[in-house]
Amino acid sequence: MLGTFQQSHLRIEVEAPAKTIHDSLLRPARLSQWVAQRLPGGLPEQLQPGLTFTSWLGPVAIKHQVEIVQPNCLRLLLSGGIDGYHEWYWGEHWVQSRLEGISMLPLALGQTINLLRLREFLRRQL
């Protein structure tokens, strides 16, 4: 993989309960409404460990393997446009994202944009 090793850890406050955040991260129908990547069709109702899918950020393919799904945690192993992982943690009125990997993409910028899009999406849900 070409690129540089990058890591970014961000946490934001949101005006949403943990259940709404949970559904917005783990249910592809809701996830596709705010995430910057294009998700494939045919995903199950909820992400489950072992599920593999490919999203697209413009012409860049990013393969995701769902490694961990817990009531307040999601961990995705990434390959292709990003070789690394993305972890999500959440609770009442907060979301935390940890992204590490090798990529030519500006990961911290993309992560910031996604968190802002998520916060706006959650705001509209209330």
Whether 1 has a pLDDT exceeding 70, the answer reads no
Buried/exposed 86-97: b ≥16 CB within 10 Å, e otherwise: bbbbbeeeebbb
Domain with residues 4-125, CATH architecture: 2-Layer Sandwich (3.30)
Question: What's the whole-number mean pLDDT along residues 63-82?
Answer: 98
Q: How confident is the model at residue 112 (pLDDT cuts 50, 70, 90)?
A: very high
Rounded to an integer, the average pLDDT of 31-40 is 96
What pTM was estimated for this model as a whole?
A: 0.94
What are the sequence ranges of the domains in the chain?
Answer: 4-125
Say which residues have a Cβ less than 8 Å from residue 75's Cβ, sequence separation at least 6.
66, 67, 68, 85, 86, 87, 88
Q: For residue 2, what pLDDT is reported?
A: 83
Q: Using the Cα atoms of residue 26, residue 20, residue 73 and residue 7 in order, give the sign of their dihedral.
A: positive
